[in-house]
Amino acid sequence: MNMVSIIEKKKQGETLSQEEIKYVIQEYTQDCLPDYQISAWLMAIWFQGMNRQETHWLTDAMRFSGDVVDLAAIHGIKVDKHSTGGVGDKTSLIVGPLVAAAGIPVAKMSGRGLGFTGGTIDKLEAIPGVQTSLPEEEFIALVNRIGLSIIGQTAHITPADKKLYALRDVTATIDNTSLIASSIMSKKLASGSDAIVLDVKCGNGAFMEKLEDAVKLAEMLVELGKDAGKNTVALITDMNQPLGNAVGNGNEVWEAIQTLKGEGPGDLTELALTLAGMMIFVGEKAKTPEEGTLLAKKMLKNGEALKKFREFVEGQGGSGQVVEDSSLLPQPAYFIQVKGPFIKGYVTGLSARQIGIASQMAGAGRVTKEEEIDLAAGIRLLKKVGDSHQPGELLAEVFGNHPDKVKQGALEAEKAFAIGTKAPKKTPIILEIIT
């Protein structure tokens, strides 16, 4: 095949064949095509788009570009959960134990964060001793014994996606629905679970800022999952302000633990229980999502989910004492308080994106995947949208181990808050459900 002809075909808005897409992915994965040709191909896709069939073929080609995990040795219906990324999103650390406690096996492969804060793997590594790189046999054995294991994705899963994403990142082709959907679903499908629940974020702190764009992406993700024979559901959730009150890594772990104790913020608790309920439903342990949520609430209230979290941490070599002792998590050396203006009123806005930038500036995020992050750095939000505000009252606290970074983070965090005299309308955390 001729790569120039394939680029030209897509540039003219024509539909690529399955063989052409497979050729591009295979040849690029094997370093047989130069970056400049793939960049041109990606830009042609960005401008002309891909139809559902092309997106399915692209997802399939990326899925089989490397290893596909076989979870057949794990008993029961394996359910995976994926979030498109948000600020303060630590739901996997809560949902996993809730679902496992209800009898649904969760064998999850997660990534590191690139941007505002760390990913699930970074958060887990804030817990002393936790191993996030395990042999496949041990990973499967842990899920059979405990019901839950979360490890990092190996380099052998969807290598095409890793190469394409790095190129998209530097060619302004990240924000295309087909490219986003194929990137997400190729990894999820290669990870081997039987059913998938997706949390598609919508708002200023998400890839998709507009609801109609988030719906379009969610529908495509669900279609791709069902095309592959997986029971797939997507929830569209609000990301106009951070989720919960903790942003960072170590402090997000502690908030997840507090939530599993029944003492978490309302928005985080509601979302975690709803996601867990949906996972229990698609895992066929409940007849409806609502019944699944009731079972998740039961696991929260009776302490079984917290017990499962401890078992999970200890199963992966970590200290279960972290459930009681927050001092075992990375501790920051520097703190700066962010105060509001000298007016009386309400918090009318809290930009998730701006808090994310502040968190990254403080040291909790990375610009490149190789960059070291400060697991102790982050932000504690003392006010959220709708809360009352007294003149000069504290809005947030920024912390970390590098004073200059913490200072910069505090300056950025101050820009995230809007204070007004009129109480704002409350936005629901769950905007839509796509089945």
The fold of 79-323 is Pyrimidine Nucleoside Phosphorylase; Chain A, domain 2 (3.40.1030)
Quick one: pLDDT band at residue 10, thresholds 50, 70, 90? very high
Q: Which of 22, 168, 310, 366 is catalytic?
A: 168
- Least reliable range by pLDDT among 152-166, 286-300, 352-366: 152-166
The count of C-alpha atoms lying within 13 angstroms of the C-alpha of 336, restricted to the half-sphere facing its C-beta, is 22
Q: Is 161 an active-site residue?
A: yes
| Mean pLDDT of all residues belonging to the chain | 93
pLDDT at 118 over 90: no
* 3-7, Cβ contacts within 8 angstroms, sequence gap of 24 or more: 3/27, 3/33, 3/37, 3/41, 4/37, 6/41, 7/37, 7/40, 7/41, 7/44
Closest listed residue to residue 311, CA positions, set 152, 151, 193, 147: 147
Q: Are 400 and 406 in contact (CB under 8 A)?
A: yes
Q: Is 168 an active-site residue?
A: yes
pLDDT at 280 over 70: yes
- Least reliable range by pLDDT among 103-117, 149-163, 216-230: 103-117
Bridge-based pairing of strands 231-238 and 195-202 is parallel
Domain(s) of CATH 1.20.970.10: residues in the chain = 3-49
Q: Is 270 exposed, middle or buried (0-12, 13-18, 19+ CB in 10 A)?
A: middle
Q: Is 65 an active-site residue?
A: no
Q: Higher-confidence residue: 69 or 381?
A: 381
Residue 267 tokens, joined: 């928005």
Q: Is 112 an active-site residue?
A: no
One-letter identity of residue 42: L
Q: Can you identify the CATH homologous superfamily of domain 3-49?
A: Transferase, Pyrimidine Nucleoside Phosphorylase; Chain C (1.20.970.10)
Q: Which of 63, 78, 82, 123 is catalytic?
A: 82
Q: If you classify domain 331-420 with CATH, what class do you get? A: alpha beta
| Per-residue confidence (pLDDT) for residue 367, from 0 to 100 | 64
Residue 148 tokens, joined: 């839950």
> Would you state the torsion angle of the CA atoms of residues 331, 337, 347, 433, taken in this order, to the nearest 10 degrees?
-20
Average of pLDDT values for 266-273?
97
Q: Which of 65, 92, 110, 183 is catalytic?
A: 183
- pTM score, two decimals? 0.93
CA pair distance 186, 396, nearest whole angstrom: 38
| Per-residue confidence (pLDDT) for residue 138, from 0 to 100 | 93
Average of pLDDT values for 214-218?
95
Quick one: pLDDT band at residue 109, thresholds 50, 70, 90? confident
Domain(s) of CATH 3.40.1030.10: residues in the chain = 79-323
| Per-residue confidence (pLDDT) for residue 119, from 0 to 100 | 83
Q: Are 127 and 314 in contact (CB under 8 A)?
A: no
Q: Are 120 and 110 in contact (CB under 8 A)?
A: yes
Q: Is 183 an active-site residue?
A: yes
| Per-residue confidence (pLDDT) for residue 16, from 0 to 100 | 97
Q: Cα-atom radius of gyration of the chain, to the nearest Å? A: 22
Question: Sign of dihedral through CA atoms 311, 313, 318, 321?
Answer: negative
pLDDT at 368 over 70: no
First-last CA distance in the chain: 38
CA pair distance 271, 95, nearest whole angstrom: 9
> Would you state the torsion angle of the CA atoms of residues 347, 351, 356, 361, taken in this order, to the nearest 10 degrees?
-80
Residue 173 tokens, joined: 């082709």
Residue 404 tokens, joined: 């200059």
The Cα-based distances of 360 to 120, 124, 144 in angstroms read 16, 18, 37
Average of pLDDT values for 418-422?
94
pLDDT at 416 over 90: yes
| Per-residue confidence (pLDDT) for residue 111, from 0 to 100 | 73
Q: Which of 60, 161, 238, 374 is catalytic?
A: 161
| Per-residue confidence (pLDDT) for residue 85, from 0 to 100 | 83
Domain(s) of CATH 3.90.1170.30: residues in the chain = 331-420
